[in-house]
Amino acid sequence: MIQRIQSLYLLISAILLAFFFFMPYAHYAVGPQEVKISLSASGLGQDGSVVENLPKLWAVLALVILAFTATLVTIFLFKKRKLQARLCIFNIVLLIGLQGLLFYIAKAVEQRLMAPPSYGLIFIFPLVCAIFTYLAYRAIAKDEALIRSLDRLR
């Protein structure tokens, strides 16, 4: 049921979350030569290759995978609107937690490298995904209200 508006919102959210697997979300200019180091879900990297794996980034990767999976599962639960609505709320909490964790890790790496971060556009994707998931939740609630009103008429 991809033609439903909530499915489109959730699909957009899943696509935005998929970018976390491929793109860095913060860059640091380190040292006098301004060496560019990027922070992504796979670790600290330079010129596209991973230089150092950080243990804290496993939590980011786990949250991204969990949020991505929850979004995809929510899309295909269109016949179970109550469960779909609950998964949307769960996903919103996950995405807000992911945003907080991203900010925390970016600040920790800033203190470690002693260089201020320049955040990429991907840094705000969890908040954008949370907004799209909330819009999907509202559309699911409207569908559920419509079905209940039709049941009363019978």
CATH class of 5-153: mainly alpha
Q: What's the CA gap between 62 and 82, in Å, rounded?
A: 26
Q: Check the CA dihedral 131-133-136-137 and report its sign.
A: negative
Residue type, 146: L
- pLDDT of res. 108: 87
- pLDDT of res. 95: 95
Sheet with 49-52: list strands edge to edge. Answer: 49-52, 43-46, 35-40, 26-30, 117-119
In tens, the pLDDT along 107-129 reads: 888 888 888 888 888 999 999 99
What average pLDDT does this structure show over 12-20? 93
Confidence (pTM): 0.86
**Domain assignments of the chain as residue spans, ordered by start:** 5-153
Q: What's the CA gap between 151 and 117, in Å, rounded?
A: 55
In tens, the pLDDT along 28-71 reads: 888 777 778 888 877 777 766 666 666 668 888 889 999 999 99
- pLDDT of res. 21: 84
